[in-house]
Structure 1
Amino acid sequence: MLTTLRRIVLEFSQEPELESALKKLVSQVKQAMVTDCCSIYLADYQHQHFLLMASDGLAKDSLGHTRIGFTEGLVGLVGQREEPLNIANAQAHSHFKHSPEVKEDELNAFLGTPIIHQRKVIGILSIQQKVARHFDENEEAFLVTLAAQLATVIATTNKHINDAANELHSFRQLKGVAGSAGVAMAPMKVIQPRADLNKLPLQKVYASVEQTQRFIKAIAKTRIDFDAMSMKLANVVSKDSLDIFEVYKQLLDSANIGTEVEEKIKSGWCAESALKLVIDHYAVQFEALEEQYLRERASDIRDLGNRILFNLQQLSLSSEKLPAEFILVANDVTASMIAEYQHQGLKGIVSLTGSNNSHAAILARAMDLPAIMGVSSLPLSQLDHQQAILDGYSGDLFISPDNTLIQEYQHLIEEETALTEKVKSVANLPAITPDGRPIELVLNAGLSAGFEHSQKVGAVGIGLYRTEIPFMNRSCFPSEHEQTLWYKEVLAAFPTQAVTMRTLDVGGDKALPYFPISEDNPFLGWRGIRITLDHPEIFLLQIRAMIRANIGHNNLEIMLPMITSVTEVDDAVRLINQAYHELCTEFNERLTKPRVGIMLEVPGVIYQLKELAQRVDFFSVGSNDLTQYLLAVDRNNARVATIYDYYHPSVLRALNVIAQESTNYLVPLSLCGELASEPAGALLLLAMGYDKLSMNSHNVARVKWVIRHVEMQRAKVMLSHALTLSTAKQVHNYLNEQLEQLGLGGFVRAGM
């Protein structure tokens, strides 16, 4: 039966049309379970009923017409109870609803089970039989298992009631991942790839000289394209935000990619096929990685490949008639798409795939373009030119909104525009409360090949520079000289302010292509400081490069990731001292010794803060991972993402304990994570006693404005009450109310 089950689910998921998918499903289930009837009903929450969508056994004329209320009949009872219902004689049951049009008078036995996705009943699957009997345990287990597997398929493939009822043009709300804050209201413009390696058939031509020349010309043209795209954006965003195009050009210059394509050509493949084979190989390597950010790089690789293919095929840009303003929608929005359309009325971005770590999301934030990622249930073919509202704060997408919603969001857009202009006035002012409590606002940097930081946003240094990203764009570990050049550039950006560099944080969920790691549970595996201590040759090389780069700058701080024990700190500090003394000897002078700190992201270290305080110069809380480990939830897993919340009472209380202990031991304390970038979160951290908050550049001015307008005593009152609350929802509601009372309601995410 397991083979039958898999076949039914697989064939259902591969069927593009809802009607044919459901029709095939009920017939297959009826045959597999040897019953007289199988039916499926889908929930319509707008009208509060189940609609009979498909049946093999009931009257065909009733399909798409028979409606059973959520509180009516046996179908409604299954939905209410949210569990299977097995009845020998259904027509004698008190909840049985007689519907003459379905012609089920001869059917007696009934077994129905709910189809539930994320705690919501989205349909009912039932089987019926003429013989009055209870279905046995195996039959019930089969139907329950089938319904559970169908739930995910129905939800993720958009096979739901609104499609069947052809209600796409009525108001509809979809949910994605908030990729970039802001609100946009405009028609949607669906962009389909002009050149798609995925759809390219493989072909051999055995004309290597001609094919190699075509490939070289396509590479040259693609490099020119990226230069042009970068120039288009040069006056719109800072230079550092254009790093993605430098990454693309580095990949074009990569000896590996070019050499491998030419080798494929020499073995007989045409240029297009050779390109597809190589690009697919690299993309699959990235897609196999556990860490979400690294998986996103597969999208960049494929985008690059499609751009080269475009030039190989000598395609020309078709003259598109674009609306004056539009929301760009695509299966996979890429950075090059944004560059191509940003000057033509682009107001927002919706991508069916990706997350807030994709380069498209990073570039969108740099350009203040609202963006939603991972809206997997969008039927692209039916969306072009439809009016939509994009809420980049909450991740909501409203299709064909009504006038009431349009007016509400128009007001929010006006408020957002005014707020953005207002907060710019404090960019270069200190982050200090009206009653004199100062706090440092610094940057998280290093998400791309370069670093996205600028003194113009009002930050006073770098609180977290991720050194692992440059390691990714290579085929082997970088040399000490290469690393020194990288780090000099970063340190020079803030010559009079501290730059905190995190040592190599890979392994487990962030494996390097040339340093593969295979583990059953990567999140609890070999990662961070555990790897670099096991490989002191890698650690020492990086530390030496950092200290060398610091010569003449003297603003370096070193931070150790994923610390779980005092022993790890002792071992790491010993190696740092070794590297420092080696360089002092080599340069024959006493160099500036960098301060050393640790990241607090493993819950266990909360109980060893006293011992750790005696060994390091500062603490920095990695609130994203600390939240993940405290709540035992993978924040990149859509099924449990709603559980991940840094306003969870346990997380707030843990952060407060860390702050109190750090104060007791006189250790400077910072926090880098999403909590620091939210105005309400920043106020709580300020009240706890955090000295420094590290965030993305686009949040600095907003957080600074709020801090400059809320007294420390008021923030402490907010913290005191928040720590007494029992649920994350209560915390959210309370903080939103407080911001409203303070006249800072504009900083509450739109749509709340």
Structure 2
Amino acid sequence: MQDRKDSDSRKLLQRLKEILAAPGGGQDRLDQITHHIADSMGTQVCSIYLFRDPETLELCATEGLRPESVHQTRLRLGEGLVGRVARSGRHVNTADAPSEPGFRFMPETGEEVFPSFLGVPIQRVGERLGVLVVQSRESRQFSEDELYGLEVVAMVLAEMTELGAFQGGQSDSMPQAHRFPLMIRGATAQEGAAEGRVWLHEPRVVVSNPVGDDPDKELVRLHEGVERLRQTVDSMLAANDMTGDGEHAAVLETYRMFAHSRSWLKRMEEDIRLGLSAEAAVEKEQSQARARLEMAADPYLRDRLHDLDDLSNRLLRILTGQGSDTGAEMPQNPILVARNIGPAELLEYGRKLKGVVLEEGSVGSHAAIVARALAIPLVIHAARITSEALNGDPILVDGDQGLVHLRPEETVAVAFRDKIAMQAEAQNRYASLRNLPATGTCGTTIQLYMNAGLMADLPSLEGSGAEGVGLFRTELQFLIRSHVPRRAELAALYRRVMDNAKGRPVMFRTLDIGSDKVLPYMKPQDEPNPAMGWRAIRVGLDKRGVLRMQLQALIRASAGRPLHVMFPFVADIGEYEEAYRVLMQELSREQKLGREMPSDIRVGAMLETPSLAFAPRRFFEMCDFVSIGGNDLKQFFFAADRENERVRRRYDTLNVSFLSLLRQIVQCCEEARVPLSFCGEDAGRPIEALTFAALGIRRLSMRPASIGPVKHLIRRVSIGDLRRVIDEAEAQGLTNLRRPITEWLARQ
């Protein structure tokens, strides 16, 4: 009995394969497919619904419902039983459809005489493509075998959809994929604008043979592929640099668990016996597991989705021979498109890239930090970009607005080029200010420093006109390695940084890890709120070995030159005192070893928590300098996570309450006679930077590209006059100063 069912399933899939290979339009193929499925399953109805847009399903073909409803019946995602299947990624099997929650009666289809309903999703590796439905007059629930068989058919339909089998013009069947313009609204992670061509970081595996001709041969291919995969994973786990209990080892152990899973292999074997090719069987299991894990409430299970995807993609590349290197040549002006990417991989591309677009990512991610260092625009949360884009597609990236225009219309492209030209013209104007001070018309001078974290940043020090490096992020050298850097490596790097600075000061921030910056070889901490957890100086004081090693490398790198050390995320005076004590101990130790000492040493703290603004005066007197870490300080002050798009833009830097906090910090530093700087995204925004200057902050640190615009504005106005505007607005009881400040600037 089972052999007969397997044979029937294979016959149906062979018919679908013949339809795919035969000439004809998309609509003709869809009509043939619904007829064959209904005939094979013995049902009166078979219907295919495909997505017209991300929120709308359209009835594209049917056997048994009224023909005039085709391309007329549409459902919103989640609407009716069909919309429910599409939203959840799970089947609906019922003997009485009208009694099901969410049922929607569509009178134009004539489906009221078919109470039995079985709907399965047509999906491909997390991408929703449509819904396949069968219905019958008799009131019955479809069997497990029938459900399983229909899921196999849906997998083949997903591959046929991906291969463009059902696509035609705008009015024939479905619009052709990868052809029409598309705008995707994401989120800004790095500002800037770029025009170029798509370069996919990991090109999608194309399953061109979803139906297997010989199940026995396909089973052999699957077993050989799985065995190669297991050997690869075992070899990776046995590698010397993957030992220990680090995150890499934990991930690879998960891979090994999946790769040696009998149930995973058994499900793929069953799919092949029903008629799928080996690679189609892998992709079917990947798609269904993805749908299950995406619905899981447990964050640990959702995280395993990435492990499963990686494992399945490895197996697919083994079976198809499609490696990451497909032989395609990188286009001119490449814009990198990826689901996500690590800092080391992004650095390998280097300055060849004009921009980056990610489906995932965050504003504080490693990739965002590297993109800032490379001074290229980065848009994150660009939904479906990896499935919509093809290598070589024209693309516009607007990092200022968080927009991506894929295959843009000419009118959009022309307007975008005008924007880029205006920005380039402005940068040329700013270049003439490079060697001039940022002095307002009132005579007040503001020192402008730049942020850095890579050697690649340092050429910008000369070109931008920065007076030094106000923040050098030392953690990037830890993030891009699979093992802890050696002390000698760090000392050599810090020495080159100082050499390239050519006597300008460099503020080295000690290792700021934790929160969104987890080292590849560091055991991840299961914390409910990592941003407020075990991170930065807290890690340094608990893991003294790493802190001491880094301080030793800094001391050896300075060798007769001034050294500036800054401790991150200090929340209490005791933390600063303890870190300061460790530094003094290392200085004493290095001196006893006969090392050349720094000619001068300045020690400071990053003020990133509101608590430190209320520290006793003794704290400020202990510091040689204080730097306000604006990004973290603002998120803690407003209790608004800067990784959360719903709230991070809700609160304005020019809110009077936040400016009052800054004014209090300025007063504390003035009384202790300690230099104060502001470091963060807001320091590079001209209006905010000018406001900070008016409050009394005399040093600002920002990305190199922002120095020109900020200096340009400072040199055109009186900082003293702006201070009076701020005082008057506050006296009037205003709670936000953006409007009075911008109106005053407009009059200037």
Map 1:256-267 → 2, pairs under 5 A: none
Q: CA deviation at 1:693?
A: 1.5
Calculate the TM-score normalised by the size of structure 1.
Answer: 0.58
| 1:50/1:67 contact within 8 Å kept | no
Match of 1:695 in 2: 702
**Closer/same/farther in 2, CA of residues 391 and 552 from structure 1, 3 Å limit:** same
Worse-matched range after superposition: 471-480 or 496-505: 471-480
Determine the C-alpha separation between the residues in 2 that align with 1:538 and 1:504: 9
Match of 2:466 in 1: 459
1:371-400 CA-to-partner distances (Å, cap 9, x unmatched) read 545534125576455544332322211234
Gap runs ≥5 in structure 2: 1-19, 21-25, 34-44, 85-95, 116-128, 138-161, 207-220, 253-298, 300-306
1:442 aligns with 2:449: yes
1:543 aligns with 2:551: yes
Q: CA deviation at 1:657?
A: 1.3
Q: 1:663 aligns with which of 640, 660, 667?
A: 667
| 1:183/1:370 contact within 8 Å kept | yes
1:441-493 CA-to-partner distances (Å, cap 9, x unmatched) read 11222247996753232111111122233345667655655544333332333
1:285 aligns with 2:295: no
| 2:556/2:595 contact within 8 Å kept | no
Q: CA deviation at 1:99?
A: 4.5
Match of 1:173 in 2: 183
Query: Tell me, what secondary structure is at the counterpart of 2:441?
Result: coil
Match of 1:66 in 2: 72
| 1:335/1:359 contact within 8 Å kept | no
Q: 1:553 aligns with which of 548, 561, 568?
A: 561
Query: Tell me, what secondary structure is at the counterpart of 1:454?
Result: helix
1:397 aligns with 2:401: no
What is the total number of aligned residue pairs between the two structures?
571
Determine the C-alpha separation between the residues in 2 that align with 1:129 and 1:201: 36
Determine the C-alpha separation between the residues in 2 that align with 1:605 and 1:129: 70
Determine the C-alpha separation between the residues in 2 that align with 1:534 and 1:339: 35
Q: Note the aligned Cα RMSD (angstroms).
A: 6.3
Determine the C-alpha separation between the residues in 2 that align with 1:313 and 1:57: 37
Q: CA deviation at 1:600?
A: 1.3
- Tell me the percent identity: 26
Match of 2:37 in 1: none
Match of 1:674 in 2: 681
1:653 aligns with 2:657: yes
Query: Tell me, what secondary structure is at the counterpart of 1:614?
Result: helix
Determine the C-alpha separation between the residues in 2 that align with 1:541 and 1:328: 36
**Closer/same/farther in 2, CA of residues 578 and 190 from structure 1, 3 Å limit:** closer
Q: CA deviation at 1:174?
A: 0.4
- Which amino acid is the alignment partner of residue 421 of structure 1? N
1:124-143 CA-to-partner distances (Å, cap 9, x unmatched) read 9x9x999xxxxxxxxxxxxx
Q: CA deviation at 1:166?
A: 5.0
1:614 aligns with 2:621: yes
Match of 2:648 in 1: 644
1:422 aligns with 2:426: no
1:402-424 CA-to-partner distances (Å, cap 9, x unmatched) read 45434432321321221121111
Q: 2:541 aligns with which of 533, 542, 553?
A: 533
Determine the C-alpha separation between the residues in 2 that align with 1:317 and 1:596: 51
- Which amino acid is the alignment partner of residue 553 of structure 1? R
Worse-matched range after superposition: 489-498 or 161-170: 161-170
| 2:677/2:697 contact within 8 Å kept | yes
**Closer/same/farther in 2, CA of residues 742 and 376 from structure 1, 3 Å limit:** farther
Q: 1:183 aligns with which of 175, 178, 193?
A: 193
| 2:379/2:399 contact within 8 Å kept | yes
Map 1:193-212 → 2, pairs under 5 A: none
**Closer/same/farther in 2, CA of residues 355 and 428 from structure 1, 3 Å limit:** farther
Match of 1:252 in 2: none
Map 1:307-346 → 2, pairs under 5 A: 329=337, 335=346, 338=349, 342=352
Query: Tell me, what secondary structure is at the counterpart of 2:622?
Result: coil
| 1:445/1:452 contact within 8 Å kept | no
| 1:446/1:452 contact within 8 Å kept | no
**Closer/same/farther in 2, CA of residues 185 and 579 from structure 1, 3 Å limit:** closer
Map 1:617-628 → 2, pairs under 5 A: 617-628=624-635
Determine the C-alpha separation between the residues in 1 that align with 2:182 and 2:594: 67
1:509-560 CA-to-partner distances (Å, cap 9, x unmatched) read 4344454353333333322222222344443443344334334212x22211
Calculate the TM-score normalised by the size of structure 2.
Answer: 0.59
Worse-matched range after superposition: 359-368 or 599-608: 359-368
Gap runs ≥5 in structure 1: 1-16, 25-35, 79-87, 109-121, 131-156, 207-263, 291-297, 744-752
Query: Tell me, what secondary structure is at the counterpart of 1:594?
Result: strand
Match of 2:512 in 1: 505
Bigger Rg, structure 1 or 2: 2
Q: CA deviation at 1:671?
A: 1.9
**Closer/same/farther in 2, CA of residues 504 and 384 from structure 1, 3 Å limit:** closer
1:169-196 CA-to-partner distances (Å, cap 9, x unmatched) read 5543102344554434456566765999
- Which amino acid is the alignment partner of residue 183 of structure 1? A
